[in-house]
Amino acid sequence: MNYWLAKSEPETYAWAQLVKDGKTAWTGVRNFQARNNLRAMKKGDLVFFYHSVSEKQIVGLAKVAKEFYPDATAEEGDWSCVDLAPVKALIKPVTLETIKMDKLLQDMPLVKQSRLSVTPLTKEQFDRVLALSTTKI
């Protein structure tokens, strides 16, 4: 299994909307590195849902429901999307500030490459975020 973090502005598409929808196509990624990360996702992989910009915190846990396929929202270029489905909300959201102060998380791509909307996590990073959130899966 692989572990990921996907970012969305809560004003654009919030965790609550994913829960309401039950599943969504994760479209609109227009960065090659983030696209390649989408293409590396496998069905069943776990994905932290991060509210960017206004909140800057990990708020939920989703899973890859469908592996990559062409992004229908792309007017040109070779872009992909995946389907994500909610697993559960984190009991305690994990803020960017907390992540930056934690020795195990300081090297997360969220900190080092903050512009990327889809990034991989190590199992250790994933487990640490879960622990900080007091959430069990």
pLDDT at 72: 97
Per residue in 11-50, pLDDT (tens digit) is 999 999 999 999 999 999 999 999 999 999 999 999 999 9
Per residue in 49-102, pLDDT (tens digit) is 999 999 999 999 999 999 999 999 999 999 999 999 999 999 999 999 999 999
Query: Which domains are assigned to the chain?
Result: 3-133 (3.10.590.10)
Q: Is 7 exposed, middle or buried (0-12, 13-18, 19+ CB in 10 A)?
A: buried
pTM of the predicted model over 0.85: yes
